[in-house]
Every structure is written in structure tokens, then in C-alpha cells.
């Protein structure tokens, strides 16, 4: 098949392009050409800036069986993509996000869960306040502009080699530390999905022309299980009340979403529909073991941007918080003994 990938030089995109080539598909990648990549020489490249438009694709004589849109964040970008590709593509696959759904702390999120209300299509800034609503609007634009020819995929937290987010590497980097701050009481949940599984399902959707929408999430783990699978042995569970008191956020403690909070909704995603349609999820223990090995053999600072590393909790601050918690605990114990 002839496949067009919009923005195929990032984490997931690179894996997808690699898998498509292995399945003997022809691949064209449209990107700005700014990000250094290691794509095969077999990839046909078209350089252009999506924010300016997709005129380069309109003028290209090529037609494609499938377009995989990896970088449609702004509604205008998706509408522009539809306008330029409606007569050149037979199947449009849009990579959306589970954050297009409204927070639902007490309910499992499925494909039929309520999404954000649609926002102004001319939005210029995507941040934590607008990201979910923007993705929901992008989905709506695609459904209307490419009826019966589209698929929407909403990956949850993707992990794998080459991940630049720093979310999982934060915890792996602490495995051997003498003291590790572990958030909550160990009973909060998280979900991680392997980039290999996401890419494999995209190629499955391509080959079988599956037209629908799917949430792609990994198994639901407690934080206690997560810490054990990583091999963290020197952890101290710090109550969420102290974490809030210290004003620590998800940037300080990546992946942590305390149960009962709105963000915890995005660690409670059903993948049942996707599994019924061919999505397979590998053993999370295997994924984590592979990534710990990769981390130990790789200079993380060469992968994760410094600005992300700087946002994460400093080791000295982490140690002082643990000491504070243990000291307060000891005071309470001493008072109990005096009162008994």
C-alpha cells in the first residue's frame, strides 16, 4: 500500500514508519525537516510546514491509500489536511488523545464517554487548558469532512525506546537510589502502553481498512505493582496530602494521578473495543524490563530534553521531603507512646 504519514519523525511516527516498511508498504513522510531522524532511505520525503499549509501535497502527483496524521493538534491543521487530501487519500487515520474525553473520576472511559465541548476553531495556543477540547474538535472536523473514510485512534501514555517525554525515565533513574519518594499509598492507578503495540495496531488498521474509533491503553496497574516491577526497593510512600501541601505537580512526579482527581480519569481507560478489533497488549513486565535495560545502556540526557529534566523533582528536594515525612511520622509515634 502507498502510505502518507504527516509528521513521521517523532517517537511513535518513527516506529510506525519502520513497521510499515517492514510490511513492504511504500511510505511518504511530510515534515518540516527540522527534527533529526533516522528514517530509512527508502522513505520518500516531502518537506513543508503544516502551519503554513499542505500545498506541497496538493501539487504532488502522488495519491495515497492511507494518510496517518500524527501531528494534527490545531483544528485548522486538520481541516487544511482534509481540504488538500480529500481527493488524494482513501483512508484518513487521525492520532488523537484520550484527553479529548471529559474527566470522569468514578467512571471507566470508553469510546462512548462524553468529550469536551467544541471550542473556537481558530484557537492559536494549545496548552493544558485547551489540548483536550482541541483534539475533540479535530475529531469532529474529520468525521464531517471525511465521512466513512476515517479512523480515530486515542493512545494513552505511550512508552518505549526513544521516548523523549522523560515520564518513565524519571522513575527508572531512581531505581538504585538510597531514598525514593513514591507518591500516595501505592493504591492509585496508572496505565502505560508500549509503542510497539500502538504501531502494530495502526498497521493492522491500515491493512484491514478498519473504520471506527479506538482507545489504545495498556493494563491498569497499582503504583505498588509498578514500583515492584521496576525494582524500586528503597521507596517511601508519601501521602497525597503532603504532596499537595508541597504543591508538587505531575511535572515534578510524572505519571502520578491521585485517585478521585479529574486527571485520574486518564489512568482508567478501557481498551476492550480495540482488543476486540485486533489490538494486542504485551506483558507490561516485559516492556518495563526492556526499558530499564535500555535506560542503563543509554545516556538519558541525550534523549530527554534538558528543559523537561529540569522540571522534574530534584534529588535533594526529594530527600528532604522524605526526611520531613519520616520525622513527622516519628513525632506522631512518640506522642502515641506517651499517651498509652
Q: Specify the pairing of strand 64-69 against strand 2-6.
A: parallel
Tell me the pLDDT band of 328, cut-offs 50, 70 and 90. confident
Mean of pLDDT over the chain? 92
When mean pLDDT is compared across 10-19, 118-127, 236-245, the lowest value belongs to: 118-127
> Are the beta carbons of 8 and 18 closer than 8 angstroms?
no
pLDDT digits 0-9 by tens, 255-312: 999 999 999 999 999 999 999 999 999 999 999 999 999 999 988 778 888 888 888 9
- Candidates 68, 64, 46; CA nearest to 55 is 46
Confirm or reject CATH 3.40.50.2300 for domain 96-328, answering yes or no: no
- Candidates 142, 132, 138, 134; CA nearest to 98 is 132
Rounding to the nearest 10 degrees, give the CA dihedral for residues 115, 277, 5, 76: -20
Residue whose entry in the numeric block shows the C-alpha cell 499517651: 339
pLDDT digits 0-9 by tens, 39-60: 899 999 998 888 887 878 877 8
Taking phi over 0 as left and psi of -120 to 50 as alpha, with beta for the rest, 222 belongs to beta
The ranges assigned to domains in the chain are 96-328
pLDDT digits 0-9 by tens, 241-265: 999 999 999 889 999 999 999 999 9
pLDDT at 62 over 80: yes
Q: Tell me the DSSP string of 37-65.
A: ----TTSEEEE--TTT--HHHHHS---EE
Amino acid at each position: 500500500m502507498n502510505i502518507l504519514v504527516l509528521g513521521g519523525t517523532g517517537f511513535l511516527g518513527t516506529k510506525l514508519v519502520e513497521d510499515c516498511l517492514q510490511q513492504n508498504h511504500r511510505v511518504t513522510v511530510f515534515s518540516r525537516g527540522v527534527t533529526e531522524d533516522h528514517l530509512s532511505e527508502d522513505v520518500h520525503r516531502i518537506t513543508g510546514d503544516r502551519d503554513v499549509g499542505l500545498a506541497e501535497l496538493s501539487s504532488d502527483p502522488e495519491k495515497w491509500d492511507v494518510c496517518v496524521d500524527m501531528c494534527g493538534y490545531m483544528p485548522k491543521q486538520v481541516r487544511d489536511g482534509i481540504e488538500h487530501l480529500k481527493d488524494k487519500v482513501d483512508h484518513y487515520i487521525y492520532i488523537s488523545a484520550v484527553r479529548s474525553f471529559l474527566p470522569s473520576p468514578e467512571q471507566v472511559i470508553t469510546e462512548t464517554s462524553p468529550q469536551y465541548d467544541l471550542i473556537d476553531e481558530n484557537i492559536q495556543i494549545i496548552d493544558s487548558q485547551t489540548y483536550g477540547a482541541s483534539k475533540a474538535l479535530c475529531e469532529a472536523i474529520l468525521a464531517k469532512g471525511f465521512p466513512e473514510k476515517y479512523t480515530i485512534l486515542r493512545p494513552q501514555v505511550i512508552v518505549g525506546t526513544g521516548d523523549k517525554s522523560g515520564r518513565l525515565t524519571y522513575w527508572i533513574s531512581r531505581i538504585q537510589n538510597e531514598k525514593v519518594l513514591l507518591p500516595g499509598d501505592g493504591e492509585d492507578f496508572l496505565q502505560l502502553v508500549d509503542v510497539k503495540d500502538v504501531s502494530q495496531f495502526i498497521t493492522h488498521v491500515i491493512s484491514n481498512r478498519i473504520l471506527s474509533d479506538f482507545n489504545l491503553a495498556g493494563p491498569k496497574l497499582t503504583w505498588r505493582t509498578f514500583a515492584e516491577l521496576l525494582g524500586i526497593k528503597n521507596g517511601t510512600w508519601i501521602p497525597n496530602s503532603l504532596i499537595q501541601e508541597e504543591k508538587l505537580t505531575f511535572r515534578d512526579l510524572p505519571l502520578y494521578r491521585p485517585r478521585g482527581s479529574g486527571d485520574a480519569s486518564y489512568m482508567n481507560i478501557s481498551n476492550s473495543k480495540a482488543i476486540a478489533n485486533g489490538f494486542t497488549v504485551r506483558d507490561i513486565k516485559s516492556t518495563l524490563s526492556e526499558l530499564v535495560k535500555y535506560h542503563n545502556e543509554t545516556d538519558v540526557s541525550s534523549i530527554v530534553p534538558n528543559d523537561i529534566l529540569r522540571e522534574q523533582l530534584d534529588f535533594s528536594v526529594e530527600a528532604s521531603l522524605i526526611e520531613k515525612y519520616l520525622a513527622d511520622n516519628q513525632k506522631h509515634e512518640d506522642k502515641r507512646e506517651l499517651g498509652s
